[in-house]
Amino acid sequence: MKVLVLNCGSSSLKYQLIDSDTEDVLAKGLCERIGIDGSNIAHQPAGGEKVKEEADMPDHTAAVKIVIAKLTDEKVGVISSLAEIGAVGHRVVHGGEDFSGAVVIDEAVIHAIEGCNDLAPLHNPANLIGIRSCQAIMPGVPMVAVFDTAFHQSMPKKAYLYGLPYEYYRKYKIRRYGFHGTSHDFVSKRAAEILGKDRKDLKIIVCHLGNGASVSAVKYGESVDTSMGLTPLEGLIMGTRSGDMDPAILSFLAEKEGLDAAQVIEICNKKSGVLGLSDGASSDFRDLVQASEEGNEQAGNALEAYAYRVGKYIGAYAAAMNGVDVIAFTAGVGENNAEVRAMVARYIGYLGTNIDPERNRIRGEEVILSDGGAKVVTMVVPTNEELAIARETVRLAAES
Ligand code: AMP
């Protein structure tokens, strides 16, 4: 079956067409500036050149139509007609407490996703627009929602409740949800497969280190804790997000700088993390490593603070699971940045792991970093959220 995987942002739409039999990506692309002047699409058929062009996309429905036109185009297309698309998988950021797994989309599901809009005001409405657009263009084609939060719904209360008056949980569902769940699930599963073991027998810590970053504790196949919270702002220091901090800083900063709450949160989301810590040098880890090597002290400090926080979370999650068998690195930084992995390794040797410097040079591939004598296996497992979404979509579409 050919599955279209869609990830809709407020003004963007990322897509992949995947052949679920071979798991090959047939084509992929990105629409940007939807609803804004200068909207454009970058489309790439497998084995072909990427073509980028301006295209009129006043809304997401127009963007989906243009994606379909590209997929069926004589020159850069990979299918002959829309009828070849057997199912659509939608990435949905927030499923709240309603969804602990992927679901076939119907009106009740749409209503429940709408109910989570407050928890992810930037993402869920965009995801819903993508779903509605596809329903209009491809009526009758099964659609599946795969939630970023679902995998973490297995967290116990002690891990997901904040130390706040319980009535706020009752009234507003303020709690920790966690994100990147599709990735944490995929990577922990794959890590066990690579080791020839059953995930149900392992305690795995997954470090999803990308622009957004989170760590999870996956005990015997279930997420029992993760570093992101009510929103993706909690946890690790990220590219531009602060991660954990004393909440009193918010009102302190607001008062000192004459800002309102939304403006302070904007700073925490967009101007903080390694970008802020490096005094504005960059949010990109390649730039930071280079700047640090060239003597930019603050870039070096930002990297050190980043690695230190990752190391602290690994220690915390080893405690949460009363042990750890596997530590898996994934996402842009985790898969590719040997320098950052080596820095993190300095904080976790006491667990009985090590990182072989030669193996650590490998980028973007599945590799076991530790040697055979290590008590805890450290490895790199490239994530593939689109493939995970396609697999879930096929599984549920077959049942529907
Ligand atoms: P992601 O959000 O998963 O796409 O990750 C983005 C981050 O991954 C950026 O900070 C990049 O610097 C980092 N990254 C991506 N590719 C490489 C690479 N080849 N070497 C080092 N860092 C990389």
Please indicate whether residue 332, judged by its CB atom, sits closer than 6 Å to ligand 1. Answer: yes
Based on the domain organization, do 244 and 339 belong to the same domain? Answer: yes
Question: Above 90 in pLDDT, residue 85?
Answer: yes
The pLDDT tens digits of the residues spanning 117-127 come to: 988 888 899 99
159: which 2 tokens? 């891990």
Pair (138, 35) in one structural domain = yes
Domain limit, last residue, from 147, 175, 207: 147
Active site residue 325: no
- pLDDT tens digits, residue range 132-174? 999 999 999 999 999 999 999 999 999 999 999 999 999 999 9
Residue of 98, 148, 185, 225 marked active site: 148
Q: What global pTM score does this model have?
A: 0.95
Residue 292, ligand 1, Cβ within 6 A = no
Same domain, 330 and 252: yes
286 CB under 6 A from ligand 1?
Answer: yes
How far is residue 313's CA from residue 146's CA, in Å, rounded to a whole number?
A: 26
| Domain co-membership, 109 together with 255 | no
Q: Which ligand 1 atom sits closest to the C-alpha of 283?
A: 10
The answer to the question of residue 110 being in a domain is yes
CATH of residue 297:
3.30.420.40
Report which residue type is found at 104.
V
Residue 6 lies in a domain: yes
Residue 379 structural domain: 198-385
| Residue 400 in this model has a pLDDT that exceeds 90 | no
User: Considering the chain, what is the average pLDDT of its residues?
Assistant: 96
- Tell me what pLDDT residue 399 has: 83
| pLDDT at res. 118 | 87
Which ligand 1 atom lies nearest to the CA of residue 331? 3
Q: What percent of the chain has pLDDT over 90?
A: 95
Say how many domains are in the chain: 2
Task: Please give the pLDDT value at position 121.
Answer: 84
Q: Please give the pLDDT value at position 228.
A: 97
User: Which tens digits make up the pLDDT trace of 251-310?
Assistant: 999 999 999 999 999 999 999 999 999 999 999 999 999 999 999 999 999 999 999 999
In a domain, 23, yes or no: yes
Give, as one character, the DSSP assignment of residue 351: G
Does residue 211 share a domain with residue 142?
A: no
Residue 71 lies in a domain: yes
CA nearest neighbour of 376 among 356, 354, 361, 343: 354
Q: Of 105, 124, 147, which marks where a domain is finished? A: 147
Q: Is 331 in the pocket of ligand 1 (CB under 6 A)?
A: yes
Beta strands in the chain (DSSP E): 2-8, 13-19, 24-32, 40-45, 51-54, 85-92, 103-104, 143-147, 203-209, 213-219, 222-226, 326-330, 367-368, 377-380
Q: Is residue 175 part of a domain?
A: no
d(CA 88, CA 350): 46
Report yes or no on 392 lying in a domain.
no
Report, as an integer, the average pLDDT of 73-93.
95
